[in-house]
Amino acid sequence: MRQKENSRRNPRRLQSLICSIALLVLISLACNLPSTLPINTPDVPGSYVETSVAETLAAVEVQQLPEGTASGLEGTPPPGETSSQTLTPTSDPSADALARIHLSENTNCRTGQGTSFERLIILLKGEEAEVVGVDTTGNYWYIRRPDQPSGFCWLWAEYATPTGPYQFLPVYTPIPTATPGFEFELTYHSNIGFCGGFYVTQYRINNTGSFTLESWKTTSIDHTGGSDPLPNIQDKFYDKTGCALVGEKSKLTPGEAYFVSAMFTNNPTGHDITVTVQICTEDGLGGECIAQKIRHTP
């Protein structure tokens, strides 16, 4: 009976032994396995790694800048601030200022210094012009023509007030006296008043040219308004004191002076008016004719 029982127990012991051995083998194999699975890592150039590291460190440094330290490029203000840098002008702005003259009376502008030179234009009272030179006597300004910026002429300085850096203008030697041409000077003489149904103002004509003057015409513009100017055409020159005729001339030879007049329907006294005087070398506004303007307040 005991032998049978022992024979029955032996297979169980054998199985336990086999299981123990198998367990030891498994434990032994487990100890020899790698600790982590292999990872395929691509080849990365060393310079790339170094650059990435440098950029990372730079970013960390920027983030750690002390408070109040500008983070932008040198000379560039941080966002939201205004740069205090001011550009220094390369030249003095005042150097670009122009010398100018302002006229207190109507004045002729001629090809030379003096009444013997041809008159090119008339600058009216209140007008301004750029000055580019002066003559040695200081009696004439060399100006840029307001009506023709590319042209120049000589202006009598009597009624011209200079402004700007005129002290630094170039000085020109006077041009030799020219042969007189077709010229005359025009000045306001008097306000005659109401005569023959019209209001009359009188102007003096001085024949400074070499031609004889025989007829004339006056036209007017009332800038104030209300005087209703009328044209006046005559073949003689008249001198009046009040409404009384003092004298007359049928023509003005070179060097002579006499009077012409402008007419108005209503009283022009105190009005701002411009009178244009046209003078001709023959009767009936024939021959050669020239005109001048004068602006004034009678």
- Which structural domains are found in the chain, ordered by start? 98-172 (2.30.30.40), 185-296 (2.60.40)
Check: CB of residue 239 under 8 Å from CB of residue 246. yes
Phi (first) and psi of residue 241, to 5 degrees = -115, 110
Alpha helices (H) along the chain: 2-31, 46-63
pLDDT of residue 30: 53
By three-state DSSP, how is residue 245 classified? strand
Distance CA 91, CA 99 (A): 18
- Read off the pLDDT band of 124 (50, 70, 90): very high
- Read off the pLDDT band of 242 (50, 70, 90): confident
Distance CA 95, CA 191 (A): 46
- DSSP H/E element including 41: none
Diameter over CA atoms, the chain: 189
- For tokens 């001048």, name the residue: 292
pLDDT of residue 173: 81
Check: CB of residue 72 under 8 Å from CB of residue 78. yes
**Beta-sheet pairing, 152-156 with 107-110:** antiparallel
Q: Is the pLDDT of residue 53 over 50?
A: no
Distance CA 200, CA 265 (A): 9
Buried/exposed code over 248-260 (b: 16+ C-beta within 10 A; e: otherwise): ebebbeeeeebbb
Check: CB of residue 163 under 8 Å from CB of residue 104. no
Distance CA 149, CA 220 (A): 27
Kindly state the average pLDDT of the residues 167-194: 83
- pLDDT of 3-35, one tens digit each? 444 444 555 666 666 666 766 666 655 555 544
The pTM is what?
0.45
pLDDT of residue 119: 84
Kindly state the average pLDDT of the residues 147-174: 91
Distance CA 122, CA 107 (A): 6
- pLDDT of 246-296, one tens digit each? 999 999 998 999 999 999 999 999 999 999 999 999 999 998 888 999 999
Q: Is the pLDDT of residue 182 over 60?
A: yes
If you average pLDDT over every residue of the chain, what do you get? 76
